[in-house]
Structure formats: C-alpha cells, structure tokens
Amino acid sequence: MNIEPSDHTGMLRRMLAALDPGTPLDDALRVEGRAGLASRYPVSGLACASIGSAALMLAQWAWPGDRCPVEVDRALASWWFGFSIRPLGWERPNVRDAVTGDYAARDGWIRLHANAAHHRHRALAALGLPGDADRVAVAERVRRESAETLEDAILDRGGCAAALRAPGAWRDHPQGRAVASEPLVQRQPGSAGAPDGGWLDDPNPERPLAGIRVLDLTRVLAGPAATRFLAAYGAQVLRLDPDDWDEPGMIPEVTVGKRCAFLDLRRPEGLERFRRLLARADVLVHGYRPGALDALGLGAEARQAIRPGLVDVCLDAWGWTGPWRARRGFDSLVQMSAGIAWAGEGAAPDPLPVQALDQSAGYLMAACALRGLALRRETGLGGGWRVSLARMACLLQEAADAAPGTPARDAPVLGPAPGPAYDPAIEPTAWGPAQRLRAPCRVEGARWGWDLPAGPLRSGPPDWW
C-alpha cells in the first residue's frame, strides 16, 4: 500500500495555530511525494510544514477571504533545506572554517563555530592557541579539558561553542525548561499605521508582494532564508551589513533577489540613515541578540514610532526567556545543546543532514511577516513577531517523540538533487552562471522568481532604488 507520509501534519498545525489561531488551514495544504531526507528526525516533514506555513500565509495575503489551495513538493522542500544554487563552471566558496567542527573533550563532545574571523580568533584565544592554529592543535587542546568548562571559557571570550548534551539533560537544564514553556511564535503589540503608508490594499496575485519594502538586518541563515522567500514573490528587499561582516560560503545562496548595502549603525550618520530607511519600510527582519537594538535607541517601541504599523520580525538562537536568552548561537550549536545531535552515550555527535532549525525558522519568519501584513491590512495595526532556533528544535523533538513510527520512516530516501530538480533558467550571479532549484511550493496564480541575481554584500548604496 502506498501511504503518503504525514510527518508534517502536527508541526504544520502548531505553526498555523501560532500564526492565525482562528483559522484552521492545514487541510488547504497538499504535500506531493513520499521520499525524504535520511534522519532520526522528521526533517522532511519539518521542511514541508515550514514552507507550507509560509505559502499558506502568502495565499491569505494574495487572496483575502478565499481559501486558495497550496501545494508543496516534498522532495524540493527537502532540497531547499540544503543548497538551492547549482554553480555552472565555478564552485561555491567554502562554508566552514577549518577550525569549525566537533571535538572530543575529556568527558564528552564540544562543537566550535569559527566561520566568522572574530569568532575563530576568540575561540582560539580561549583555548590559549595562536591565531594560526590548525584543527590538529585544537583537537589536542580540547581533548584535555571538560566540554562544559571549555564551552563557558569560549563564551566568556565572546566566541561560539556548545557542549553536546543528552535530550534529557537539556529538558532539565534551566534554558531547556525556559524554551519548552515559550510559545512557538511570540507576538507583541504594534502601532497604527498611517493611511498613506504604502501598504497594498489590492495585491496582484501574480506578484503578490510587489511594492512591499523589506529591510533585512539578518545574517546566516534563518533570516536570509525568510527574506529570500519574500523576494521570490516580488518584495523589495534591502539587506544591510556592517563593513566587518562576511559569510562567503553563503552569499551566493541567500542574496538572490536582494539589494545589499553597507551601513554602520554604530556611527551617528549610519543610525540616522537607518531611521530614514525604516520609516519607509513595511517589514523589518532582524536577528540581533536581545537588547542589541535597544542599546542603539532602536527598541521595539522606538521602531514602531519611527514606522507606525511596522511588521517587525526577529530571531533569537536560544529563546526569549531563560539564562541563555542573550547568548550567541547558531543552528549547529543548538543541535548540540538541545540533544538533537545526541546519538547515545559515548557516541560522536550525529547532527541533522541539513541546517533544518535555521531553514524552518526562516520560513516561519516569512510566514510571520505575511500574516503581519494581512493583519495590518485588516486592522491597521503593525506588531512584533519573535521566533527562536531553540524553540524550533523543541518542536522537531516533540514531533519525533509523538510519532516515532510514521510512514515517512518507510519512505524512499532522497539523494542529491538531480538535474531536473533545477529550473532551466540561468541566473547570472556575480560569481558566474548558475541554476536554482525549482519552487518548493505552488500558490495559485503567484509566480515564484527573483528580479535580481545573487550578488556580493555591500554592492550598492543603502537606499530603496
């Protein structure tokens, strides 16, 4: 009997309940295909649920009052959780620094995140190693210490690391308990927007987000995935980065459809320029740690005052409450701490096959932005929407615990995306020609695609061209 996998259903219902409690929409989503990524967790189900939630919110925005059917291709959704771009005649830059990775400590395992130059420098300094230390030297040094002791030392230096914990240990940890008690999406009240604020009362279903301005203050990977989705349906996205940030391995992946510019919010002229940009934005997407924007005079109330009716969507790694709420974090680190990478006592870490926490949080952030736009149209009010990687990890773990024997476990395993999975259109990126995966979802009448090819960071002026 050919049973369709249903491992997305529970997670989709949880997402939709967090976005729009009064409207059960999960039966409006049709998922095509049976194959999934090989994992101990329902990663392909999470891909279908999160991309599906964004697509359903897009349908609500494009077809207000109607029940527009939405389709998600299970294989394409899974592949979009990896790399979407296929270079033609060139190679993607390396995503990870050589020091980044998992290391055996004296009493367990620890992961170091050193892809950014300053994170690498701080981690090596905490280990007492020179800036040019290689992976062998790091492994020898880590082997002599306790994993949690090293975790604390690296974090105290401003670096990024996470000791591997068992799922039960995370559930009993103060931060694990805090995250489990948080809603999947935290919502905050906003202000009323001016009638001439530039919002679209009658969107064009073919390009439903045309005319919507999105200000992007995010880095790898959740936030850029969210704004990439919005740009795919016509949103005008402006990404702003400081001059000391780089993520070469991911830039071709996430800048498609966006204008990218330099802006230093730490300088008075940069801050004033940002205020002017924000005053003309419809959506702000940001991933600064809690309190960072407040320190610049850009707290939640200030942002709503600058742009009344603003849809404000933000991401945190470890959740919005608890002792770790301001801690630096990335997908791979949350997998370690939350126990997703735990494969048993004494076993090496076994992470997810893709950055599923980042990707799912990104699509849920896009869904938040779209639901916020719809509510702004209905009520005149903006508002804040907050998502965290740790809460997405909790959702995935709960789904795995609730349905350990779902049909998806018996479905065919997906390999790398084959040629036909890519759109034949050539994207003239700044690095060379490339192809993108076909759209993972279909909303009636809406055209998926980008008006700009992927390009480097800081490639233009900080303005709405």
Structure tokens belonging to residue 10: 């529970």
Residues 6+ apart with CB under 8 A from 405: none
What are 426's two structure tokens?
A: 């050539």
Query: Residue 458: its pLDDT value, please?
Result: 87
Question: pLDDT value at position 192?
Answer: 80
pLDDT at 193: 74
- Give the position of tokens 């309940």: 17
DSSP three-state, residue 236: strand
- Gap between the terminal Cα atoms of the chain: 55
User: What is the residue whose two structure tokens read 């800048």?
Assistant: 255
H or E segment and range at residue 370: helix 356-379
3-state secondary structure of 242: coil
Query: Residue 455's closest CA among 430, 427, 435?
Result: 430
Cβ-Cβ contacts under 8 Å for 363 (sequence gap 6 or more):
50, 51, 53, 54, 225, 226, 229
- 3-class SS at 192? strand
Distance CA 57, CA 71 (A): 13
Walk along the chain (465 residues) and give the pLDDT tens digit of each residue: 344 568 999 999 999 999 988 777 768 899 999 999 999 999 999 999 999 999 999 999 998 888 888 999 999 999 999 999 999 999 988 878 899 999 999 999 999 999 888 899 999 999 999 999 999 999 999 999 999 999 999 999 999 999 999 999 999 999 999 999 999 999 998 888 754 444 566 678 899 999 999 999 998 899 999 999 999 999 999 999 988 888 878 999 999 999 999 999 999 999 999 999 999 999 999 998 888 899 999 999 999 999 999 999 999 999 999 999 999 899 999 999 999 999 999 899 999 999 999 999 999 999 999 999 999 999 999 999 999 999 999 999 999 998 755 545 567 999 999 999 999 999 999 999 999 999 999 999 999 999 999 999 988 888 876
Measure CA 380 to chain center: 27
pTM across the whole model? 0.95
Q: Cα dihedral sign for 419, 424, 85, 373?
A: negative
Q: Look up residue 104 and give its DSSP letter.
A: E
Residue 29 parent element (H or E) = strand 29-32
Peptide bond into 221 cis (omega under 30): yes
Distance between CA atoms of 175 and 320, rounded to whole angstroms? Answer: 10
Q: Which two tokens stand for residue 140?
A: 């020898």
Of 366, 449, 362, 315, residue with least CA distance to 58: 366
